[in-house]
Amino acid sequence: MPHTQGTSRYFSTRDGRRLHTAQLDGPRDAPVVVFEAGAGGTRSSWGTVQPAVARFARAVVYDRSGLGRSEPDAADRTFGRMADDLNDLLDGLDDGDGARFVLVGHSLGGVIVRLAASRRPDRIAGLVLVDPSDEAADDMFREGAGRRAAIMMTVMRGLARTGILRLLGGLAFRRAPADVRADLAREATTPRAIDTMAQELKTFYPELQSWRGSAPDLGDLPVTVVSGAKSGGLGKAVRARVNEAHAGRAAASPAGRHVVAANSGHQVPLTDPEVIVDEVRRLVAGPAMVD
pLDDT digits (tens, 9 = 90+) for 70-103: 999 999 999 999 999 999 999 999 988 889 999 9
DSSP state of 43: G
Is residue 219 classed as helix, strand or coil in its secondary structure?
coil
Mean pLDDT of the chain: 94
pLDDT tens sequence across 27-41: 989 999 999 999 999
C-beta of residue 4 within 8 angstroms of C-beta of residue 180: yes
> What pLDDT does residue 290 have?
54
Residue 45 domain flag? yes
**For residues 187 and 169, is the Cβ–Cβ distance under 8 A?**
no
Q: Is residue 2 part of a domain?
A: no
For residue 51, pLDDT beyond 60:
yes
The strand pair at 7-12 and 18-24 is best described as: antiparallel
Which domain does 23 fall in, by range?
7-290
Minimum mean pLDDT range among 13-27, 34-48, 58-72, 129-143: 129-143
Hey, what's the torsion of the CAs at 182, 69, 226, 264, to 10 degrees?
A: 30
Evaluate whether residue 1 is within a structural domain.
Answer: no
CA–CA separation, 88 and 101 (whole Å): 13
Across 236-241, average pLDDT: 93
Residue 268: phi, psi to the nearest 5? -60, -40
CATH number at residue 121: 3.40.50.1820
Query: Quick check: is 228 in a domain?
Result: yes
Does residue 149 belong to any structural domain of this protein? Answer: yes
Number of domains in the chain: 1
- Grouping H, G, I as helix, E, B as strand and the rest as coil, residue 267 is coil
The verdict on residue 134 lying in a domain is: yes
Rg (the chain; Cα; Å)? 18
Angstrom distances, CA of residue 171 to CA of 166, 176, 271? 9, 10, 12
Q: How far is CA 98 from CA 28, 73, 287, in A?
A: 12, 29, 18
